[in-house]
Amino acid sequence: MNDTSTLRMTFLGTGTSTGVPVVACDCDVCRSDDPHDKRLRTSLLIQYRGKTFVIDCGPDFRYQMIRERVEDLDAILFTHEHRDHIAGLDDVRGFNYVLNKSVEVYAQEKVIEAIHKEFPYIAPNNRFFGCPQLNFNAIQPEPFQIFDLVFTPIRVMHDKMEVYGFRFGDITYITDASSISDEEIDKIRGSKIIVLNALRNSHHVSHFSLNEAINLIQLLKPEQAFITHMSHFIGKHAVVEKKLPYYIHLAYDGLKVDMEYLTL
Q: Where are the domains of the chain?
A: 3-254
Quick one: fold of 3-254? Metallo-beta-lactamase; Chain A (3.60.15)
Supply the pLDDT for residue 260.
87
Strands 144-146 and 149-158: antiparallel
- Tell me how far apart the terminal alpha carbons of the chain are, to the nearest angstrom: 7
Q: What is the pLDDT of residues 94-137, one digit of tens each?
A: 999 999 999 999 999 999 999 999 999 887 776 677 789 999 99
CB 77 within 8 A of CB 55: yes
Burial pattern 173-183, b for ≥16 Cβ within 10 A else e, equals bbbbbbebeee
Residue 66 vs residue 263, higher pLDDT: 66
Give the DSSP H/E element, type plus range, for residue 153: strand 149-158
Supply the pLDDT for residue 117.
94
The C-alpha atoms of residue 133 and residue 136 are separated, in whole angstroms, by 10
pLDDT at 26 > cutoff 80: yes
Supply the pLDDT for residue 2.
53
Residue 1 pLDDT grade (very low, low, confident, very high; cuts 50, 70, 90): very low
The C-alpha atoms of residue 63 and residue 65 are separated, in whole angstroms, by 5
